[in-house]
């Protein structure tokens, strides 16, 4: 028994030595343009799901299927879906819920399960050569699940559509964590950074250049995702028109997005490299480790006060971002009785404006020399104006009271959407302790998706109680307003120093234990 323990220790030491050697070699080798292309093409593959399917089509499809299987408020008369702004309910597990709320509850459940999935696997990706494997595995499963939307042949199968949404959304979230975890890695081994290291540049200069590169990487991959979403939506528009705008055509268009996701995975499979991390000791329980690690990280994260401030703000901000799109799509579909073609055009506008908005705000940042934090504050305040404007419709003759306003709404939202995501990812990547990329980006996404359980759930409860979908925008207004105030208190330089101290303390603890 003692001999086996000794052999395990020797093997662990050998694995760590191998890792250290690989890190040294990695620092000498800059990231190649081919690998960057493979990384960008991963978001080109799955970005369409986030932009088009999860953001617009899935909520509308779930509502349509539920309504066709539901009843009027008298709970007897079958729902008349041809009536604009129809108000119907459906019975699930003995409880009647508003058909508008069904999609919100599905999203909330998928986000909850996604959080458990992220906890289970993302910390393992920070050990050994697992990051690429996890990324490709979850992307493949998510793509196949998305293709299955075409198998929902009857409205009565709305629960099956809900399951597909849950599986695909969970897998997309997990894959996206591993995608984002490459940003701090690539920014450290970017050719320009390695040249500065060789020239013994000051730490301040290194931090400045790494921030610019991480911002550029984040902006580029976000832009690529929106371009992919745009192309998939155009393809979906062609499918809907070819099938004479039938209800089933929307499902075929969504399945097309899954096929797109699956096909483009070929390039990250071939071009992405493994960036090995310290191997997991053989004595560690691989099933319990992720949960211990994430709770340990959350406990230690309290020492990282600036990360805590950022994540608190991000919790509320991401909730607003993730809820505005689906809520606006449902609002337009119900209030203005938008057709499938009109909904697809809306979905075209959002990624088009998002891709443009990224570079408009990037130009503004460079022109006025704003920091990443300042840009986040500006765009957060701009986003808060969206629910505020919609709520004016309760009191004034404008404020999403007319068909043309929904088009201006999505243009404005799209311009803000891409840039707020890019700047948030970039800023957070600068605050992450080195060697904890997947783990902290999983915390980043768990925070985002965890809040996304709250937003749709509250919107669903409010809509079910009042049978007025406009009331859901009160939830968004409050959350976005508070988020804008919290992010103003963030001090980035202190946050970077805290992450460096975090790593030093961790090394000292490991030395004492050994």
Read off the pLDDT of residues 281-298 as tens digits, 9 standing for 90 and up. Answer: 667 776 677 777 777 767
277 bridge partner residues: 128
- Give CA–CA dist 133/274, Å, rounded: 9
Task: Output 14 or 134, whichever has higher pLDDT.
Answer: 134
- Give CA–CA dist 160/93, Å, rounded: 15
Q: What is the mean pLDDT of residues 154-160?
A: 91
Number of structural domains the chain divides into:
1
Average pLDDT, the chain: 82
pLDDT at 339 over 50: yes
**Could you tell me if residue 56 is inside a domain?**
yes
Q: Which is it for the CA torsion 365, 367, 371, 375, positive or negative? A: negative
In three-state secondary structure terms, 193 is helix
> Per residue in 439-465, pLDDT tens?
777 678 777 766 666 777 787 778 777
Q: What is the mean pLDDT of residues 11-15?
A: 44
pLDDT at 27 over 80: no
Give the single-character DSSP code of 436.
-
Query: Hey, which of 120-124, 217-221, 332-336, 412-416 has the most confident mean pLDDT?
Result: 412-416
- Give CA–CA dist 247/192, Å, rounded: 52
**Could you tell me if residue 280 is inside a domain?**
no
Query: What's the pLDDT band for 24 if we cut at 50, 70, 90?
Result: very low
**Could you tell me if residue 10 is inside a domain?**
no
Q: Which two tokens stand for residue 296?
A: 């340990």
**Could you tell me if residue 367 is inside a domain?**
yes
Task: Output 111 or 364, whichever has higher pLDDT.
Answer: 364
pLDDT (0 to 100) of residue 389:
93
Residue 103 contacts residue 330 (beta carbons within 8 Å): yes
Q: What is the mean pLDDT of residues 491-501?
A: 90
Task: Output 163 or 222, whichever has higher pLDDT.
Answer: 163
CA-to-CA dists, residue 164 to 171, 255, 324, 429, 497, angstroms: 11, 11, 22, 31, 43
Give the single-character DSSP code of 441.
H
Specify the range with the lowest mean pLDDT, choosing from 7-16, 165-174, 248-257: 7-16
CA-closest candidate to residue 105, choices 50, 173, 174, 159: 159
pLDDT at 514 over 90: no
pLDDT (0 to 100) of residue 128:
63
Q: Where are the alpha helices (DSSP H) in 29-78?
A: 33-48, 58-68
Query: Hey, which of 82-91, 366-375, 444-453 has the most confident mean pLDDT?
Result: 366-375
- Give CA–CA dist 55/377, Å, rounded: 23
Q: Find all residues with CB under 8 Å of 132, minimum gap 6, and list them.
A: 178, 268, 272, 273, 274
Query: What's the pLDDT band for 337 if we cut at 50, 70, 90?
Result: confident
Nearest-5° angle of CA 131, CA 428, CA 452? 85
Specify the range with the lowest mean pLDDT, choosing from 101-105, 213-217, 286-290, 429-433: 286-290
- Give CA–CA dist 428/482, Å, rounded: 19
Specify the range with the lowest mean pLDDT, choosing from 190-199, 388-397, 451-460: 451-460
Query: Hey, which of 6-20, 77-91, 401-415 has the most confident mean pLDDT?
Result: 401-415
CA-to-CA dists, residue 19 to 23, 24, 284, 463, angstroms: 6, 9, 18, 53
pLDDT at 148 over 90: yes
Domain that holds residue 316: 36-275+287-513
- Give CA–CA dist 331/358, Å, rounded: 26
What is the Cα 188 distance to its own chain's centre?
Answer: 23
pLDDT at 154 over 50: yes
Helix (DSSP H) and strand (DSSP E) numbers for the chain: 19, 3
pLDDT (0 to 100) of residue 324:
86
CA-closest candidate to residue 101, choices 481, 498, 460: 460
- The set of long-range contacts for 13-18, using a CB threshold of 8 Å and a minimum separation of 24, is 15/278, 15/279, 16/278, 16/279, 18/279
- Give CA–CA dist 36/39, Å, rounded: 5
**Could you tell me if residue 24 is inside a domain?**
no
In three-state secondary structure terms, 82 is coil
- Give CA–CA dist 176/170, Å, rounded: 10
Query: What's the pLDDT band for 333 if we cut at 50, 70, 90?
Result: confident
Residue 133 contacts residue 273 (beta carbons within 8 Å): no
**Could you tell me if residue 452 is inside a domain?**
yes
pLDDT at 194 over 80: yes
pLDDT (0 to 100) of residue 150:
94
Specify the range with the lowest mean pLDDT, choosing from 29-43, 217-231, 453-467: 453-467
Give the single-character DSSP code of 202.
-
pLDDT (0 to 100) of residue 313:
94
pLDDT at 91 over 50: yes
Ramachandran region of residue 418, left (φ > 0), alpha (ψ -120 to 50) or beta? alpha
> Per residue in 231-278, pLDDT tens?
888 888 888 888 876 778 889 999 999 999 999 999 999 999 887 777
pLDDT (0 to 100) of residue 3:
45
Q: Which two tokens stand for residue 466?
A: 């009042």
Query: Hey, which of 91-100, 244-253, 486-495 has the most confident mean pLDDT?
Result: 486-495
Residue 417 contacts residue 357 (beta carbons within 8 Å): yes
Residue 391 contacts residue 474 (beta carbons within 8 Å): yes
**Could you tell me if residue 6 is inside a domain?**
no
Element housing 474 (H / E): helix 472-487
Query: What's the pLDDT band for 329 if we cut at 50, 70, 90?
Result: confident
Indicate yes or no: pTM above 0.75: no
- Give CA–CA dist 487/433, Å, rounded: 20
**Could you tell me if residue 209 is inside a domain?**
yes
List the CATH number of the domain containing 213.
1.20.1250.20
Specify the range with the lowest mean pLDDT, choosing from 49-58, 227-236, 304-313: 49-58
Q: Where are the alpha helices (DSSP H) in 181-265?
A: 182-188, 191-198, 203-242, 247-264
Residue 65 contacts residue 336 (beta carbons within 8 Å): no
Strands in 71-72's sheet, in edge-to-edge order, are 71-72, 88-92, 95-98
pLDDT at 379 over 70: yes
């Amino acid at each position: 028994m003692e001999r086996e323990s000794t052999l395990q220790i020797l093997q662990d030491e050998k694995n760590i030595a191998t890792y250290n050697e690989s890190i040294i070699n990695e620092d000498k080798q800059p990231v190649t343009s081919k690998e960057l292309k493979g990384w960008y093409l991963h978001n080109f593959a799955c970005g369409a799901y986030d932009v088009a399917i999860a953001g617009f089509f899935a909520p509308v499809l779930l509502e349509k299927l539920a309504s066709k299987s539901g009843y009027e408020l008298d709970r007897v008369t079958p729902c008349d879906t041809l009536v604009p702004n129809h108000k119907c309910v459906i019975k699930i597990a003995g409880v009647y819920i508003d058909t508008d709320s069904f999609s919100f509850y599905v999203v909330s459940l998928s986000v909850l399960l996604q959080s458990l999935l992220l906890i289970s696997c993302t910390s393992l990706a920070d050990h050994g050569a697992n990051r690429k494997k996890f990324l490709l595995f979850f992307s493949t499963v998510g793509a196949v699940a998305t293709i299955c939307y075409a198998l929902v042949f009857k409205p009565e199968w709305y629960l099956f559509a809900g399951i597909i949404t849950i599986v695909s959304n969970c897998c997309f979230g997990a894959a996206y964590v591993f995608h984002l975890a490459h940003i701090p890695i690539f920014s450290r081994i970017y050719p320009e950074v390695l040249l500065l290291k060789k020239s013994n540049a000051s730490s301040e200069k290194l931090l400045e250049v790494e921030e610019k590169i991480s911002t550029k990487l984040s902006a580029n991959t976000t832009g690529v995702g929106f371009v992919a979403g745009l192309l998939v939506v155009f393809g979906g528009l062609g499918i809907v028109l070819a099938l004479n705008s039938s209800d089933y055509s929307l499902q075929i268009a969504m399945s097309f997005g899954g096929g797109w996701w699956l096909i483009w995975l070929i390039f990250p499979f071939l071009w992405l490299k493994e960036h090995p991390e310290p191997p997991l000791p053989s004595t560690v329980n691989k099933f319990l480790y992720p949960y211990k690690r994430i709770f340990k990280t959350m406990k230690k994260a309290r020492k990282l006060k600036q990360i805590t401030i950022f994540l608190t703000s991000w919790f509320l901000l991401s909730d607003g971002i993730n809820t505005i799109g689906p809520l606006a799509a449902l609002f337009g579909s119900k209030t203005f009785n938008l057709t499938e073609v009109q909904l697809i055009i809306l979905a075209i506008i959002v990624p088009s404006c998002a891709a443009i908005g990224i570079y408009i705000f990037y130009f503004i940042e460079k022109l006025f020399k704003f920091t990443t934090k300042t840009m986040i504050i500006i765009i957060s305040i701009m986003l808060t104006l969206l629910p505020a404007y919609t709520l004016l419709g309760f009191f004034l003759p404008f404020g999403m009271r007319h068909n043309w306003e929904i088009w201006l709404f999505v243009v404005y939202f799209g311009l803000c959407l891409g840039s707020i995501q890019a700047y948030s990812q970039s800023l957070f990547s600068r605050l992450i302790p080195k060697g904890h990329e997947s783990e902290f980006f999983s915390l980043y996404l768990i925070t985002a998706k965890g809040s996304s359980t709250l937003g749709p759930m509250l919107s669903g409860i409010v809509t079910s109680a009042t049978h007025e979908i406009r009331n859901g925008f009160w939830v968004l207004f409050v959350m976005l307003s508070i988020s804008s105030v919290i992010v103003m208190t963030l001090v980035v330089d202190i946050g970077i120093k805290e992450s460096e101290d975090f790593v030093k303390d961790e090394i000292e603890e490991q030395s004492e234990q050994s």
